[in-house]
Amino acid sequence: MSESDDPVETERVWLVERTYSDDEQNIIILVYATPDGSKYLRKERSLTSFGDVRDTTAAVDAKAGSLGTVDDDERREQYAAEVERTREQYAPDEAI
């Protein structure tokens, strides 16, 4: 079976949070969420130098198995509201 016969299920998630790590210097934590706020993807990005330029896009397509579940109702609502705001302002592949 080739890779094309076994597609990987992905889900589009949108940037809802960007913070700097308290524990380590030069780490940015990006949180992306599904439109309903029920699932999230956390990415940590190291800023190794000023020349290390990697765009942060408004949305990414994440492997469905790599998404965590948002159990807190308040956080789920917050993520859903942030996704809506991000979707209104940016195209999925637009750098923000």
Domain ranges of the chain: 7-89
* Per-residue tokens: 55: 């765009």
Q: Are 63 and 9 in contact (CB under 8 A)?
A: yes
Nearest to 31 by CA among 10, 64, 60: 60
Q: What tokens does 66 get?
A: 């790599």
Question: Which residue in the block uniquely carries the two structure tokens 């859903």?
Answer: 80
Answer with the residue of higher pLDDT: 88 or 49.
Answer: 88
Q: What is the pLDDT of residues 22-63, one digit of tens each?
A: 766 778 899 999 999 999 999 988 876 555 567 899 999 999
C-beta separation of 35 from 83 below 8 A: yes
Nearest to 18 by CA among 52, 37, 47, 42: 42
Separation CA 25–CA 48 (nearest Å): 10
pLDDT category of residue 6 using cuts at 50, 70 and 90 = low
